[in-house]
Amino acid sequence: MKKELCAIEDEVPLVVGLGATRPLSSFHTKQCSAVSLFQRKFFPDSNPADWSSWKWQVQNSITNVETLSEMFSLTEKEITALKSSSVSLPFRITPYYASILYGKDENYALRKTMIPVSDEMIEGFGESGDPLCEEHMSPVPNVVHRYPDRVLFLATEFCSAYCRYCTRHRVVGNKNELHRFSSKSWEKGIDYIASHPEIRDVLISGGDPLTMPDARIDYLLSRLRAIPHIEIIRLGTKVPAVLPQRITPKLVRMLKKYHPLMMSIHFTHPDEVTLESSVACRMLADAGIPLGSQTVLLKGVNDDAKVLTDLYHRLLTIRVRPYYLYQCDPVQGSSHFRTSVNTGLRIIEQIRGFTSGYAVPTYVIDAPGGGGKIPILPEYYQGRDDKYVYLKNFEGNRYRYPDPIDPSVR
Ligand SMILES: *Cc1c(COP(=O)(O)O)cnc(C)c1O
């Protein structure tokens, strides 16, 4: 193993995967040597310090079919999509994330989330470019105000890697949308928030806000923190999973100034919990930032109770609390990713009760048309009569609860 590439291994032993605190496992030793092999093969002029630099990772991200085909033997379906002009979401993947996909074929879960296939060109039943009607709920271009007390602030159109099922692919990676993320547009958004005292929670997303330079994030956070009615600020990001090098001590020191600050991290699959992403999450958690995960339920990727349980267990070991499991939005070109809602319900049934409640996220459908996130649960509540509420537990056994009569709610 090339030692320098895994400089982080010198730090405190880390818990990754299941089990107690332990030093670098053989899994991670293997991972490190695989990464160093990948780097030497495809980036022969780079050195280990380059690999650990997030700017190098962004600058050397793979964005075209030529480079990609040197690394992977691409299928017909992938090549068609990569070359097609009707696939609107650009292709982009960091060298780090590509090293996770390396050596795996087209059936590999995470490859499907990053390398487009021609199914993206199909428009399925009920799909649209803006299923959540965010554009209709934007009082100013980069603010979505759907709920009474909180807003979504779209800070940038850029991501370091583009998920193929992105619900916001009308915006992300789209150079025509740059104007709405200029400093001027930010001002309008900040003004809007400042003049609406009912807003107590701002969720900064995009694009991926952590792809912005420290100074820009610092500026936005300082402006929002200066608004007296803003209680909490949240960042929505996939950076710890696709560009963990971005989580630097300097970034974390800056973020800490803006507490209470929380982070929702987009994790998809247990293979994303690597040594690097674990170190990134540890730094964030040590800075007192509560970490939650958001996962999209995806066919052939993670639509399996075992895979999701494994992901959730691993996330808890790196101090990330599963927050939401999303039914995949009916965004254009998503039909090959979408499972039935029944699949989701069955998966939740197989997780809830069988493991720590902390490992169970809320399964939601973000209602097409702008209804917001609606939680859906397997039928644990089976109805009631005058005396009892009827319940079914995780093992399918029936119970009843003697429900006190409360005339005020009848
Ligand atoms: C998801 C979302 C939020 C945050 O919702 P929580 O349930 O509070 O996490 C806020 N605004 C919009 C538009 C959203 O889509």
Tell me which of 11-25, 94-108, 299-313 is least confident. 11-25
User: Ligand 1 centre from 38 Cα, in Å?
Assistant: 38
Mutate to test the pocket of ligand 1, among 150, 196, 325 (most ligand atoms within 8 A of CB): 150
| Candidates 32, 159, 281, 328; catalytic one | 159
Over the stretch 203-237, which tens digit does the pLDDT of each residue have?
Answer: 999 999 999 999 999 999 999 999 999 999 999 99
Token pair belonging to 146: 């759907």
Percent of the chain with pLDDT over 70: 92
Q: Which pTM value belongs to this model? A: 0.92
| Candidates 2, 77, 150, 225; catalytic one | 150
User: Ligand 1 centre from 86 Cα, in Å?
Assistant: 30
Backbone angles phi, psi at 246, to 5 degrees: -65, -25
Q: Beta-carbon neighbour count of residue 96 at 10 Å?
A: 26
For residue 146, indicate whether it is catalytic.
Answer: yes
For residue 234, indicate whether it is catalytic.
Answer: no
How do strand 388-392 and strand 398-402 relate by DSSP bridges?
Answer: antiparallel
Q: What pLDDT, on a 0 to 100 scale, did the predictor assign at position 183?
A: 82
| Candidates 32, 130, 162, 163; catalytic one | 163
Q: Are 371 and 329 in contact (CB under 8 A)?
A: no
For residue 130, indicate whether it is catalytic.
Answer: no
Token pair belonging to 395: 């093992």
Task: Please state the domain extents for the chain.
Answer: 12-121, 379-410
Identity of residue 250: K
For residue 150, indicate whether it is catalytic.
Answer: yes
| Candidates 146, 170, 238, 338; catalytic one | 146
> Which secondary structure element, helix H or strand E, spans residue 275, and what is its range?
helix 275-286
For residue 111, indicate whether it is catalytic.
Answer: no
For residue 200, indicate whether it is catalytic.
Answer: no
Over the stretch 65-98, which tens digit does the pLDDT of each residue have?
Answer: 999 999 999 999 999 999 998 888 999 999 999 9
Q: What pLDDT, on a 0 to 100 scale, did the predictor assign at position 320?
A: 98
- Assign 16 a pLDDT band (cuts: 50, 70, 90): very low
Residue whose CA lies nearest to ligand 1 atom number 2 = 152
| pLDDT above 70 for 28 | no
Closest CA to 75 of 43, 39, 119: 119
Token pair belonging to 161: 């890697």
User: Ligand 1 centre from 152 Cα, in Å?
Assistant: 7
Q: Which atom of ligand 1 is nearest to the CA of 144?
A: 13
Tell me which of 54-58, 116-120, 175-179 is least confident. 175-179
| pLDDT above 50 for 23 | no
| pLDDT above 70 for 327 | yes
| pLDDT above 90 for 33 | no
> Which secondary structure element, helix H or strand E, spans residue 204, and what is its range?
strand 201-205
- Assign 29 a pLDDT band (cuts: 50, 70, 90): low
Over the stretch 276-289, which tens digit does the pLDDT of each residue have?
Answer: 999 999 999 999 99
Query: Which residues contact ligand 1 via a Cβ below 6 A?
Result: 144, 146-147, 150, 152, 203, 373
C-alpha dist (Å) from residue 258 to 197, 231, 232, 280, 304: 19, 10, 9, 19, 38
For residue 281, indicate whether it is catalytic.
Answer: no
Residue whose CA lies nearest to ligand 1 atom number 8 = 150
For residue 147, indicate whether it is catalytic.
Answer: yes
Closest CA to 158 of 118, 206, 120: 206
Taken in order 132, 135, 137, 140, is the CA torsion positive or negative?
positive
Q: What pLDDT, on a 0 to 100 scale, did the predictor assign at position 328?
A: 98
Residue whose CA lies nearest to ligand 1 atom number 12 = 152
| Candidates 2, 50, 77, 147; catalytic one | 147
Q: Are 370 and 137 in contact (CB under 8 A)?
A: yes
Q: Are 165 and 127 in contact (CB under 8 A)?
A: no
Q: Are 329 and 167 in contact (CB under 8 A)?
A: yes
- Assign 175 a pLDDT band (cuts: 50, 70, 90): confident
Identity of residue 130: D
Mutate to test the pocket of ligand 1, among 140, 152, 326 (most ligand atoms within 8 A of CB): 152
Tell me which of 18-22, 169-173, 315-319, 335-339 is least confident. 18-22
Per-residue pLDDT, averaged over 28-48, amounts to 87
Q: What pLDDT, on a 0 to 100 scale, did the predictor assign at position 11?
A: 43
Q: Which atom of ligand 1 is nearest to the CA of 137?
A: 13
Token pair belonging to 110: 């995470």
Token pair belonging to 274: 């690597």
Q: How far apart are CA 181 and CA 256, in angstroms?
A: 24
Mean pLDDT of all residues belonging to the chain:
92
Token pair belonging to 94: 């960091």
Residue whose CA lies nearest to ligand 1 atom number 1 = 373
Per-residue pLDDT, averaged over 332-360, amounts to 98
Q: What pLDDT, on a 0 to 100 scale, did the predictor assign at position 6?
A: 43
Residue whose CA lies nearest to ligand 1 atom number 7 = 373
